[in-house]
Amino acid sequence: MQHTCVAYPTMITPYESDGSVAYQTAARYVRWYYKNGCQGIFSICQSSEIAYLTLEERVRLNRIVYEEAARIEKEEGKHMTVVSSGHTGFTLREQAYELNRIAESGTDALILITNRLDIENQGDDVWIKNAEKLLAELPSDMNLGLYECPLPYKRLVSPRILRWCLSTGRFRFMKDTCCNAAMIRERLEILRGSNFALLNANGQTLLSSLRDGGSGYCGVMCNFHPALYVWLCAHYTTHPALAEEIQAFLGTACFTEGGLPYPLSAKYHMCLEGIPTELLSRVRKSEELTEYAKACVEQLRSVGHVLEKRIGGQR
């Protein structure tokens, strides 16, 4: 029997014209994600430009996301999960303080950035030792997760670390960024039968990971065509031929992650979706969003809409 698979976007941070965080625009994003079928949101992550947000901005932004999701649940009767990261400190003390502040602002799970627990990339022993210290400083009843954030370097989770996390009984979520179908398969075998969900961030290997027992998608491209990810996660077994076609588009479209100036490209897409957004970022220069880049986003959106109409009759 197929388990429920989900699609979570990685939350982007909108700004006002003066460069401050546009919190109410962020709340509108939450509504847009929900309208497009997303069952949850990964808040305060690399897409959120966390290294360029102050702690107070991270905490307030997370609170806005969590509270807006709670309002949607009250209105619609459907829970929208919010998982949140936000720790950028170098010392474990700094990270514990940051994560506890995020926890206080509201979340369904605190997500640990894997490279923060082994900053010098010294090995599994160091990672596990630091994780034990950090977990002791976090709320004992808080669900936890892992995120293989690519910056400042990608610290992949080894089988040993994954088994250790599973043994704690506290981990419920992993945003997998290994981009390796065989490695994902190995990880899923370790997690089989547990309530530790692995969500793939890589669109090119998404369908294979779902077939191997993955729990869905959590990544950048849910800021562009989330409905397609939601559909694929829900229907890859019932409509296998169409699932292959949707996968082919998603896998190709994912190459725009590096080819276009993300997250500016996603903010421009939000404008096209009717959510006015300043084309500002703290990690990219606005002039990088050229007319060429805008045209690419428009074409991506156009093809996405064609496919959304097609799957509309295949629900």
Is residue 226 a part of any domain in this protein?
A: yes
CATH number, domain containing residue 11 = 3.20.20.70
Q: What is the pLDDT of residues 277-315, one digit of tens each?
A: 999 999 999 999 999 999 999 999 999 999 999 998 554
Is residue 151 a part of any domain in this protein?
A: yes
Token pair recorded at residue 164: 């250790």
Q: What is the pLDDT of residues 35-90, one digit of tens each?
A: 999 999 999 999 999 999 999 999 999 999 999 999 999 999 999 999 999 999 99
Q: What domain range includes position 81?
A: 6-240
- Local confidence band at 25 (pLDDT 50, 70, 90 cut-offs): very high
pTM for the full model? 0.96
Is residue 257 a part of any domain in this protein?
A: no
Is residue 142 a part of any domain in this protein?
A: yes
Is residue 313 a part of any domain in this protein?
A: no
- Pairwise CA distance, residues 296 & 162, whole Å: 39
The structural domain count of the chain equals 1
* Whether the Cβ atoms of residue 114 and residue 147 lie closer than 8 Å to each other: yes
Nearest to 271 by CA among 43, 7, 29: 29
Nearest to 48 by CA among 91, 102, 90, 86: 86
Q: In Å, how far from its chain's centre is CA 309?
A: 25
Is residue 262 a part of any domain in this protein?
A: no
Q: Is 26 exposed, middle or buried (0-12, 13-18, 19+ CB in 10 A)?
A: buried
Is residue 80 a part of any domain in this protein?
A: yes
Is residue 18 a part of any domain in this protein?
A: yes
* Whether the Cβ atoms of residue 43 and residue 67 lie closer than 8 Å to each other: no
- Pairwise CA distance, residues 195 & 43, whole Å: 21
Q: In Å, how far from its chain's centre is CA 120?
A: 25
